[in-house]
Amino acid sequence: MNLQVLWTPIALQSLSEVLEYTYTEFGERQLRKLATQIYAVCSRLATFPLSGKREIAITKTTGIEYRSILVIKEIKLLYTICDDTLFIEFVKNTRMDDSTMLAKLIPNK
């Protein structure tokens, strides 16, 4: 199985925030390393989309099955699968609580 990987606008915004923070706090070398790791995880997910952990609490709240996978200890990707497409929904700092993330994912909730 090789799914197409697409990034939602919210995911791109959260990715931008994570990369900007990484650059500001740790420099260009760490930024490049993290970007490479994120790309590698996305490539792996395209082939093995069910390798991520089911996010039960978020799935129950939204009614959509969300999965997540760690990129590094502090960063994980939240994604959904629809037909032959894997949607990256959010790039989450693992210290962020789910309610903050849900407020960004679903502004009307």
Tell me the pLDDT tens digit for each residue of 73-92.
Answer: 999 999 999 999 999 999 99
Alpha-carbon span 77 to 70, nearest angstrom: 6
**Spatial separation of the C-alpha atoms in residues 69 and 58, rounded to whole Å:** 14
Q: What pLDDT score was predicted for residue 26?
A: 95
Whole-model pTM: value is 0.87
Reported as a pLDDT band with limits 50, 70 and 90, residue 109 is: very low
Tokens of 35: 């970007």
The pLDDT tens digits for 45-72 are: 999 999 999 988 888 888 889 999 999 9
Q: pLDDT digit string (tens) for 19-52?
A: 999 999 999 999 999 999 999 999 999 999 999 9
CATH topology of domain 4-100: YaeB-like fold (3.30.2310)
Tokens read off for 70 = 């760690």
**How would you class 46 by CB atoms within 10 Å of its CB: exposed for 0-12, middle for 13-18, buried for 19 or more?**
middle
